[in-house]
Amino acid sequence: MTMVLGGVAAILVWILFFRLFFSDRDEFLEAIRFWLTPDWFSRWSSEFWDNFWAELKLGLWFNLGLGAGVFVHFALLNLSTAGV
């Protein structure tokens, strides 16, 4: 049950923070495209800084939600084992 609630928390954080990191769906898809593009190719095609910022935003957004989910999971697990 704690894993399910942790997953729900992660999804909620991803939904709530989506607009903070990405202006629209196309910017999100572009960040995924840059994430899949090798860095050497971005340097060669002079898109290095676009790639850098897109990957940074995608990584922060993803890890923020993941961290929230893990925190909720372990916080609830700790509460359930403490007998509260």
State the pTM of this model: 0.85
**How many domains in the chain?**
1
Asked if 10 contacts 77 with a C-beta cutoff of 8 angstroms, the reply is no
CA atoms within 13 A on the CB side of 39: 5
pLDDT at 83: 64
What are the pLDDT tens digits along the chain (84 aa)? 999 999 999 999 999 999 999 999 999 999 999 999 887 888 788 888 999 999 999 999 999 999 999 999 999 999 888 765
- Quote the domain boundaries for residue 52: 2-82
